[in-house]
Amino acid sequence: MNIVDKAIETQLKNIEQKTGKSLAELTKIINSSKLTKFGQLRDMVKEKFALGHGDANTLVHVAKKAADGSADKSAGETVSDIYAGKNEAVRPIHDSFMSKIQKLGSFEIAPKKTYLSLRRKKQFAMIGPGSKGRVEVGLNMKGIPGTQRLEELPPGRMCQYRVFLSDTSDVDDELMGWIRKAFDSAG
């Protein structure tokens, strides 16, 4: 099992522990409700089980997949696809980043076609292959002056900042400090 699937598995185990209910029981409650819209289901789960936004979001995704028999790719399969071929060489950088970020606390990993969106109440970071054999990390936070390494992006972009990682050693304390600020500001 890769690190992304392991993170989601850990998140689901933590949800079971927080709620005192098994994943099967939670899935049944969600799928037997009269609610049909994803946001309504997520809000119901947040209120009924006192879960945070990220946990509720992940739980509803899992329950909806179970209900419709969806054959969506797992996050791990998506990561394998993203880092296939020419991007395979930078996969260890991605894995190093994801290993360290797990220590921050609970958050949702939303796989996209070419990157992972990392979310709490809102997206705080994204990670995926960048140009020139690097990994690109996008960050959403305010009040930090840009540096040569922490590039400020123009308004209207998906993230306010980005950092390129060329080696696993780039996943350092400076980067994790920025990640912590973005994580905390996302709620």
Query: Is residue 74 a part of any domain in this protein?
Result: no
Please report, in angstroms and rounded to a whole number, the separation of the first and last CA atoms in the chain.
29
Do 143 and 116 reside in the same domain of the chain?
A: yes
**In a domain? residue 75:** no
| Residue at token pair 């996943």 | 171
- Residue 174 belongs to a domain: yes
Q: Are residues 19 and 59 in the same domain?
A: yes
The whole-number average pLDDT for the span 17-43 is 88
Q: 121 with 159, same domain? A: yes
Is position 173 within any domain? Answer: yes
Q: Do 54 and 119 sit in the same domain of this protein?
A: no
pLDDT tens-digit map of 81-109: 889 889 999 999 999 999 898 888 888 88
How many domains, in total, are found in the chain?
Answer: 2
Let me know whether 172 and 129 are in one domain. yes
Q: Which amino acid is at 70?
A: S
Q: pLDDT tens, 44-78?
A: 999 999 988 888 888 888 887 766 654 455 666 77
pLDDT of residue 74: 60
pLDDT, tens digit (0-9, with 9 covering 90-100), for 159-177: 999 999 999 999 999 999 9
Structural domain contains residue 148? yes
- The Cα-based distances of 102 to 4, 77, 110 in angstroms read 10, 19, 14
State the pLDDT at residue 125.
94
Task: Provide the strand spans (E) within the chain.
Answer: 108-111, 116-119, 123-129, 135-139, 151-152, 161-165
Q: Domain range spanning residue 94?
A: 87-185
